[in-house]
Amino acid sequence: MACATQTVRYIFFLFNLLIWILGIVVLGVGIWSRVENDTWSDLIDTNTIFEASNLLVAAGLIVAVLGFLGCCGAIKRWRSMLIAYSIFVFLIFVLEIAAGAYAYTKREKVEQQLEAGVKKGISTIYGKTDKASKGMSIAVDWFQQTVKCCGASGPGDWKTSYWYTSNNSTNKNPVPESCCKVKAKGCNAAGKTDSIFAEGCITAGKAYAVKNMKLIGGVGVGIAVIELFGIVFAMWLCCAFRRDERGDPIN
């Protein structure tokens, strides 16, 4: 086998090893996004983030498999496998671009759903004892701690909430403990404004949601661009195999 063909094979093998690793990364990001956002699904009545995450999970799994097949095609010198590899990688490229674009175009809908969910959760549901409301309360507490915020527009929103008017009429604790920068017993006592997050959850939550959407879209688009090089390598290797079999020189 000509030296040039051997070089192409090794380059393509290493490239697909990288593709396989990146496929695992995409799969991991998709799973992480699905699990992470599921924690505060009670605050958002939409499947937008989940659908984009599921696309990344599917794309990552298929890309990992294709990376493995690309390595086999290079080692075994199977041109038909390399052609099939190129076709499937192109289809995955389209899928990942769609996932990134979908996540980006739906960001405003996610923000609107988040705003409505946060307002409703804080004002009328938080603190109730039925099973559904407890789930919302847990989501609100998690959200305030994770996003580092307090109340819908600010800490003052809690004074008009169901939680405050029904269960906290003593005025000793104007906000829940989840509003504390460092969560500890008594950290939410009246007058301890320095220990409470000052930013409202609507503003902070929108920034958090956009960050997650950009991560999903950015990873999908970034990996898709790299995969285009995989198609170029596969076609180059097919030509190298064909020329090598005919005995033609490879420039």
d(CA 82, CA 121) in angstroms, rounded, equals 53
Please state, in angstroms and rounded to a whole number, the distance separating the CA atoms of residues 120 and 136: 10
HEC string of 147-215 equals HCCCCCCCHHHHHHCHHHHHHCCCCCCCCCHHHECCCCCCCCCCCCHHHECCCCHHHHHHHHHHHHHHH
Q: Quote the pLDDT of residue 220.
A: 66
Torsion (CA) 22, 27, 32, 38 in degrees, nearest 10: 150
- Supply the pLDDT for residue 1: 47
Model pLDDT, residue 236: 76
Model pTM?
0.57
How far is it, in rounded angstroms, from Cα 107 to Cα 73?
A: 40
Distance CA(84)–CA(69), nearest Å, equals 10
In contact, 165 and 123? CB cutoff 8 Å: no
Q: At 110, which amino acid appears?
A: V
User: If pLDDT is split at 50, 70 and 90, which confidence band does 233 have?
Assistant: confident
Structure letter (DSSP) for residue 40:
T
Mean of all residue pLDDT scores within the chain: 76
pLDDT given for residue 251 in this prediction: 45
Instruction: Report pLDDT digits (tens) over 134-183.
Output: 888 888 898 899 899 999 999 999 988 999 888 755 567 889 999 999 88
Q: Which residue has the tokens 């956009």?
A: 210
> Do 98 and 54 contact (CB within 8 A), yes or no?
no
Cα–Cα dist 124/251, whole Å: 73
Q: How confident is the model at residue 49 (pLDDT cuts 50, 70, 90)?
A: low
Percentage of the chain beyond pLDDT 70 is 78
pLDDT digits (tens, 9 = 90+) for 104-139: 677 677 777 778 888 888 988 898 888 778 888 888
pLDDT number for residue 172: 78
Residue 106 one-letter amino acid: K
Q: State residue 12's pLDDT score.
A: 75
DSSP label of 106? T
Give 60's strand partners.
Answer: none
**CA–CA separation, 155 vs 10, rounded Å?**
60
What mean pLDDT is predicted for residues 2-18? 71
Distances (CA, A) of 209 to 32, 42, 146, 159: 14, 14, 12, 26
**H-type helices in 39-158, by residue range?**
48-76, 79-105, 107-120, 131-147
- Residue 45: predicted pLDDT: 47
